[in-house]
Amino acid sequence: MFGRKAVDRAGAAAVPGEALRLEDVRKVYGTEGNQVVALDGVSLSLPSGSFTAVMGPSGSGKSTLLQCAAGLDRPTGGRVFVDGALLAGDGEAALTRFRRERIGFVFQQFNLLPTLTVMQNVTLPLKLAGRKVDRRRAQAILERVGLGDRLGHLPAELSGGQQQRVAIARALVTEPRVVFGDEPTGALDTRSARDVLALLQESVRMFGQTVVMVTHDPVAASCADSVLYLADGRIVGHQQAPTAEAVAERMTHLADEVERQRATTEAGR
Ligand SMILES: Nc1ncnc2c1ncn2[C@@H]1O[C@H](COP(=O)(O)OP(=O)(O)OP(=O)(O)O)[C@@H](O)[C@H]1O
Ligand SMILES: [Mg+2]
């Protein structure tokens, strides 16, 4: 057998083509006597170039999972690897650097800076990371998301769908290892949601991007290659090549599944 250290070292960078790995990740909020276990030992491995949807009831830990995986929050226990590199807990500055170099994040409410133009919003992550600001590349990405003619506009001058496409361009501009989206279509009408999903799919299919997206919408989830189901802070299911019908069906039965899993766990104790 390998010693623990050897496994740690080998494990850190050993899996080729793996974009994201979580090992027994736990997140507990609150202080003793008043604790909420938001993540209860989540382990997963996602290959590079995959598009994964995360679904589950409200409060099941989806946002917590994304925030821990993206380095926006620290897990209470367990380990997160992005592209083989351990997301370590040594200081805010290190975490911020890790995030800037490896992660893109798209929020439900876009989170663009209101006083910056479209172009300035998209190039900001490069500036913050101290990287060369290649305006031509930024422009090419904005053209790809259909906003090549809006470079000088302010966010308030754009529709919700357009703002979210700027946010996606901003997430892609640093060429991150993984792009996370927490309900990126949650604030959009059906048509804009479809555009945003098509964009995410294109970034996976054509550019090999790895995408992890939380959604409540079975149609959005069906755009992904696979769906992870979360309940009570645990992964309770996994579905490949999902259809909207199959996802909706699975969500309906999720509560029953959780009960069944709880019973199995109890019986195994
Ligand atoms: N900052 C916090 N402090 C205390 N508890 C929190 C905090 N953030 C989340 N929680 C709790 O952790 C659990 C998981 O929350 P999380 O936001 O991850 O759920 P979610 O699956 O994203 O839900 P939704 O679908 O409603 O967005 C919930 O019980 C929530 O109340
Ligand atoms: Mg959430």
pLDDT at 209: 96
Residue 92: predicted pLDDT: 85
**pTM of the full predicted structure?**
0.90
- With b meaning 16 or more CB within 10 Å and e meaning fewer, what string describes 43-69? ebebeebbbbbbbbbeebbbbbbbbbb
- Please report the pLDDT score of residue 115 as a whole number: 98
User: What is the spatial distance between Cα 147 and Cα 122, in angstroms, rounded to a whole number?
Assistant: 11
Q: Residue 90: its pLDDT value, please?
A: 73
CATH of 14-268 among 3.40.50.10800, 3.10.105.10, 3.40.50.300, 3.40.50.2300: 3.40.50.300
So where are the chain's domains? 14-268
Q: Which residues contact 146 (CB under 8 A, 6 or more apart)?
A: 165, 195
> Which ligand is closest to the CA of 232, given by its number?
1
CB 81 within 8 A of CB 71: no
The Å distance, Cα 60 to ligand 2 centre, comes to 8
- pLDDT at position 27 is 98
Supply the residue whose CA is at minimum distance from atom 4 of ligand 1: 29
The pick from 64, 74, 183, 229 for probing ligand 1's pocket by mutation, whose C-beta has the most ligand atoms within 8 angstroms, reads 64
Nearest alpha carbon to residue 49 among 188, 181, 212, 208: 208
Cα separation, 56 vs 60, whole angstroms: 6
pLDDT number for residue 220: 97
The per-residue pLDDT for 75 is 94
Q: What would the two tokens of residue 168 be?
A: 């996606």
Mean pLDDT for all residues in the chain? 91
pLDDT computed for residue 256 by the predictor? 78
**186 vs 115, 118, 167, CA distance in Å?**
24, 21, 14
Atom 27 of ligand 1, residue of closest alpha carbon = 58
> What residue owns the CA closest to ligand 1's atom 2?
29
The ligand 1 atom nearest the CA atom of 27: 12
For ligand 1, residues with CB inside 6 Å are: 29-30, 36, 38, 56, 58-64
Q: Compute the distance between CA of residue 131 and CA of residue 100 in angstroms, rounded to an integer.
A: 10
- Looking at residue 239, what is its pLDDT? 96
Residues of the chain under the 50 pLDDT cut = 1-11, 13
Taking the mean position of all CA atoms in its chain, how far away is CA 47? 14
State residue 89's pLDDT score.
66
Point out the ligand 1 atom lying closest to the alpha carbon of residue 56.
21
* Predicted pLDDT at 254: 87
Give me the pLDDT at residue 14, please.
57
CA distance 27 to 86: 17
Per-residue pLDDT reduced to its tens digit, 120-174: 999 999 999 999 999 999 999 999 999 999 999 999 999 999 999 999 999 999 9
CA distances from 212 to 70, 186, 221 (A): 10, 15, 10
